[in-house]
A = this chain, B = another copy of it.
Amino acid sequence: MELLRPDMFHPACPNSVMPIRIGDKWSAMVVVCLEQGPRRFSELRVPMHITTPKVLTQTLRALERDGMITRTVHAEVPPRVEYELTSLGRALLDLIATSCRWADEHLPALLAARDAYASRTAEPVSLAAPETTSPRPGR
């Protein structure tokens, strides 16, 4: 989760711009996988198809640093480490759910737009009227 610097915003722009970004590949999915309760390292790595432990470690460390999860080491052999959502992590869960609902609702339109765009850029149509949308020189 990366913080965007306020100095990137000009006074002319609305200043209530999303100041953070869940910028990495796995964070949101890890949070969702912790929804039902604490999970061990392997219980996250294997089912999520994360091939290497390094990537999962990075993700978990970042989430722990930002107060989204706790990391608990149990003094046993073999070692057992459990990760669990904090209240802040559960709050993030709400935001993720909202994003999911948005995607459920609007993803079809987005995909349709991509198809249309691909069709438009594939063939350089010659009968476009001026003052209209996007007839650019083809690549």
Residues of A within 8 A of B (CB): 1, 4, 7-10, 12-14, 16-23, 25, 28-29, 32-33, 35-36, 47-49, 64-68, 70-75, 88, 91-92, 94-100, 102-107, 109-110, 112-114, 116-117, 130-135
List the B side residues contacting A94 at CB < 8 Å.
102
CB <8 Å contact, B65 and A134: no
Oligomer: number of copies: 2
**Given A32-B14, A67-B112: A75 and B130 within 8 A (CB)?**
yes
9 smallest beta-carbon distances between A and B, as pairs = A67-B113, A10-B47, A65-B117, A12-B47, A18-B99, A75-B130, A95-B102, A71-B134, A19-B103
